[in-house]
Amino acid sequence: MMTGHTMKLQQLRFVSEIAKQHLNISRAALALHTSQPGVSKQIRQLEEELGVEIFARSGKHLSHLTAAGETILAHADEVLRQVSAIKAIALEHADKNAGTLGIATTHTQSRYVLPPVIGRFIGKFPRVALQLHQGSPVQISELAANGTADFAIATEALEQFSDLVMMPCYYWNRAILLPRDHPLAAGSTLSIADLARFPLVTYTFGFTGRSRLDEAFKQHGLAPNVVFTAADADVIKTYVRLGLGVGIVADMAHEADKDSDLIAIDASHLFAPSLTSIGFRRGMHLRSYMIEFIEMFAPHLSRGVIESCALTQNTQERKALLAELTVPRYADLLTVAD
């Protein structure tokens, strides 16, 4: 018989993973829990069947994707997306209300914003196992993009991943936290210049809208004296309490009851608002409880809008869809929820 060698899904997985692993077959094999030689051979078989090289070799290394490979990769990824959609659909129909939900997000979200949402969620979907992954915005994006998590929720650096569909959830701003005996606690309305005069304690760069903060100072030609940074507000508050400096945190992080020993001053007149978004892989099948989660988290995102976004290939169209939404501010969400 002829060596018909009909294309296999595995082979497409291999192609995709090799590309994802920067053309390193060994890494790809590792990531897919299989052997290097197996991957290598399947790739060669696929290339033989297609009659085209997908990867260009220089010596014993894969140097780059060929032109054909570039295009094939895009289609292979699409195939894999569809396949995982099929699996998700099957789960959906096997049991609408059971499954898993992986959320990758930052400390701010998981510590302050998500608890009430997740509380309601597990109340309604007790048989959905929740996994919370915490990390930097970049890590979060990767977790969502590679399927470790279903959703990414964060404020910064998520738009870069073209594989992710991002939807706006709410605008928020900062709160200034002061010890009760701090000089600024007495003053009237705060200015950027006031802040620049004191040591500051805030988020590490890349976290929770830190870049917006820097912009504001820069616009006024001021250099903030940031003496301490942390990735999470709990740590920041601790150091504010020690008198190390003035805390600038997301307003979500201020808890009136537990932080009553600190003075909190709204700083929305000082900084441009930041936008927190939720994202998921393009073309991913959203299980119904996933959609409900989004609705709980961001009530202005309705099932219809979400599904349209999930299906729309074109980034421009998606933007148009989303532009019609009225995105709430976090403070307003709170009053509604209570």
Nearer to a second copy, 67 or 223 (CB): 67
Nearest approach in angstroms of CB 225 to a second copy is: 53
Mark 8-27 with x for binding to a second copy (rule: CB under 8 A) and - for no binding.
Answer: xxx-----------------
Nearer of residues 89 and 337 to a second copy, judged by Cβ: 89
The length of the chain is 338
Residue 38, phi then psi, degrees to nearest 5: -60, -50
Residues 73-102 that bind a second copy (CB under 8 A): 75-76, 78-79, 82-83, 85-87, 89-94
Q: Which of a second copy, DNA, none does residue 89 bind (CB under 5 to 8 Å by kind)?
A: a second copy
Q: Shortest distance, CB of residue 311 to a second copy, whole angstroms?
A: 8
Residue 43 within binding range of DNA, rule CB under 7 A: yes
Q: Binding mask 47-66 vs DNA (x if CB under 7 A, - otherwise)?
A: ----------xxxxxx----
Q: Binding partner of residue 59 among a second copy, DNA, none, CB under 5 to 8 Å per kind? A: DNA
Tell me the pairing of strands 151-154 and 128-134.
unpaired
Candidate residues 20, 44, 111, 329; the one interacting with DNA per rule CB under 7 A = 44
Q: Does 42 sit near DNA (CB under 7 A)?
A: yes
Q: At what angle do helices 288-297 and 303-311 cross, to 10 degrees?
A: 120
CA distances from 77 to 10, 70, 141, 253 (A): 12, 11, 17, 39
Which residues in the 41-70 window bind a second copy by CB under 8 A? Answer: 50-52, 66-68
Taking the complex as a whole, the smallest distance from the CB of residue 315 to DNA amounts, in Å, to 31
H-helix segments, the chain: 9-20, 25-31, 36-50, 67-94, 107-108, 114-124, 137-145, 183-186, 192-196, 210-219, 233-241, 288-297, 303-311, 315-323, 330-337
Nearer to DNA by C-beta: 10 or 204?
Answer: 10
User: How many chain residues touch DNA (CB under 7 A)?
Assistant: 28
Nearer Cβ to a second copy, position 91 or 272? 91
Of the pair 9, 67, the CB lying nearest DNA is at: 9
- Residue 99 gets the label, from left (phi > 0), alpha (psi -120 to 50) or beta, of left
Give just the sign of the alpha carbon dihedral 63, 64, 65, 66: negative
Q: Which residues contact 335 (CB under 8 A, 6 or more apart)?
A: none
**CB neighbours (10 Å) of residue 42?**
18
In three-state form (DSSP H/G/I as H, E/B as E, the rest C), the secondary structure along 233-258 is HHHHHHHHHCCCCEEEEEHHHCCCCC
Burial, 38: exposed, middle or buried (Cβ in 10 Å; 0-12, 13-18, 19+)?
middle
Give me the residues that bind a second copy (CB under 8 A), please: 6-10, 50-52, 66-68, 71-72, 75-76, 78-79, 82-83, 85-87, 89-94, 313
Residues that bind DNA (CB under 7 A): 1, 3-5, 8, 10, 23-26, 33-38, 40-45, 57-62
